[in-house]
């Protein structure tokens, strides 16, 4: 294993230190935690509902890379592939509460759900208004070793983008929670891997694939998927994922948004080839794509792979997705 690190136990705090030192105009670290909060002038002068998310590290730029005007108010980083602790989540909640309440965006992993719930109870004891939405966009498996139900994966960033833009517009906490749940219900993702991720503390890939194999339906924590097959051209991979995802939508009319997401070790060249194939097939299928995004947005350390997210979107959501934001990662 070759990694550009110092000590394994220092990876997360040193990563957060580097992030805030290189973007001090955008974010600052909450003392005594590995959580970051907005540090821009607009945050200090304009009131809105606070938006907090977080989870295990190793998925960068999720979540800290999306803290800023128009997206998250704060993000909490746990250890690699491990939920942040309730006390750190609580500190993030209290740091962003401006009296209008706080919405928690949580990926559907048992540790995240439990620890965010505990932090929510702590904040409610301080009379802070809190709502939680749980992202479960991964349709490839119904359960995994980390979850109770579908996993939260790359669609999380689209939820954060839509909800963050709506919060900036002045939407209330209750309406933001309803909006976020509606977005989650209409967002579907499947991921594929050519090579598993290597967790630094483990020192070897989480699973093995032969040189000519690909795995469909993997998770962002090295969870296995639903099938191992021979590698196919990008067009055939795109067809497989599109077919499975579109089968989840009973109504294929109206506006759609897509995210082609790199898992950490896949060159952008290949991501754009795949995106071209996806958009060509969707156009052939008469699916109206009004927003598309490509890049390493929700990664799994150095995993070689890609995921496709398709959202059936209302026109207002497309507007929110297209609004400019001031963050590190979007």
The CATH architecture to which 9-185 belongs is 3-Layer(aba) Sandwich (3.40)
pLDDT surpasses 70 at 147: no
Query: Which residue has better confidence, 1 or 261?
Result: 261
Q: Identify the burial level of 39 via C-beta atoms within 10 angstroms of its C-beta, where 0-12 means exposed, 13-18 middle and 19 or more buried.
A: middle
**188-322 CATH pick, 1.10.3720.10, 3.40.710.10, 3.30.450.90, 3.30.1180.20:** 3.30.1180.20
- Quote the pLDDT of residue 144: 61
Terminal CA-CA length for the chain: 30
pLDDT surpasses 90 at 148: no
Extract the tokens encoding 276.
Answer: 């071209």
pLDDT band at 143 (very low <50, low <70, confident <90, very high): low
- Quote the pLDDT of residue 142: 74
* Domain boundaries defined on the chain: 9-185, 188-322
- Quote the pLDDT of residue 318: 98
Mean pLDDT of 210-226: 95
Helix or strand run (H / E) with residue 194: strand 187-195
- Quote the pLDDT of residue 149: 82
Please give the positions annotated as active site.
Answer: 59, 221
What residue ranges in 60-185 does DSSP mark as E strands? 74-80, 102-107, 130-135
Which tens digit of pLDDT belongs to each residue from 19-46?
Answer: 999 999 999 999 999 999 999 999 989 9
- Quote the pLDDT of residue 146: 59
Which tens digit of pLDDT belongs to each residue from 224-239?
Answer: 999 999 999 999 999 9
- Quote the pLDDT of residue 141: 80
Provide the percentage of residues in the chain whose pLDDT is more than 90.
96
- Quote the pLDDT of residue 294: 98
Computed over every residue of the chain, the mean pLDDT equals 96
Residues 215-235 as b or e (16 or more Cβ within 10 Å = b): bbbbbbbbbbbeeeeeeeebe
pLDDT band at 1 (very low <50, low <70, confident <90, very high): confident
- Quote the pLDDT of residue 21: 98
Which tens digit of pLDDT belongs to each residue from 155-191?
Answer: 999 999 999 999 999 999 999 999 999 999 999 999 9
Closest CA to 326 of 95, 25, 96, 17: 25
């Amino acid at each position: 294993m070759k990694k550009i690190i110092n000590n394994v136990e220092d990876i997360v705090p040193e990563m957060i230190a580097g992030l805030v030192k290189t973007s001090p105009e955008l974010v600052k670290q909450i003392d005594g935690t590995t959580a970051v909060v907005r540090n821009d002038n607009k945050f200090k002068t304009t009131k809105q509902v606070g938006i907090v998310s977080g989870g295990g590290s190793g998925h960068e730029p999720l979540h800290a890379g999306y803290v800023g005007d128009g997206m998250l108010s704060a993000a909490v980083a746990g250890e690699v592939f491990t939920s942040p602790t309730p006390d750190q989540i609580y500190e993030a909640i209290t740091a962003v509460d401006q009296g209008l309440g706080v919405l928690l965006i949580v990926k559907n992993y048992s540790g995240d759900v439990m620890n965010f719930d505990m932090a929510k109870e702590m904040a409610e004891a301080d009379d802070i208004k809190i709502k939680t939405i749980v992202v479960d966009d991964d349709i490839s498996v119904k359960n995994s070793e980390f979850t109770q139900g579908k996993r939260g994966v790359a669609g999380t960033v689209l939820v954060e983008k839509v909800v963050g833009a709506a919060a900036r517009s002045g939407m209330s906490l209750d309406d933001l929670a309803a909006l976020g749940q509606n977005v989650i219900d209409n967002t579907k993702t499947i991921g594929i891997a050519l090579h598993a991720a290597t967790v630094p503390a483990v020192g070897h890939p989480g699973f093995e694939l032969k040189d000519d194999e690909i795995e469909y339906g993997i998770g962002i924590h090295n969870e296995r998927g639903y099938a191992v097959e021979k590698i196919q051209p990008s067009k055939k991979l795109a067809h497989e994922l599109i077919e499975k995802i579109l089968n989840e939508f009973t109504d294929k009319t109206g506006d759609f948004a897509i995210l082609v997401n790199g898992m950490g070790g896949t060159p952008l060249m290949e991501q754009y080839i795949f995106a071209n194939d996806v958009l060509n097939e969707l156009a052939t299928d008469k699916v109206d794509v009004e927003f598309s995004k490509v890049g390493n947005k929700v990664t799994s350390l150095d995993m070689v792979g890609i995921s496709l997210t398709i959202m059936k979107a209302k026109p207002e959501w497309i507007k929110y997705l297209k609004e400019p934001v001031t963050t590190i990662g979007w």
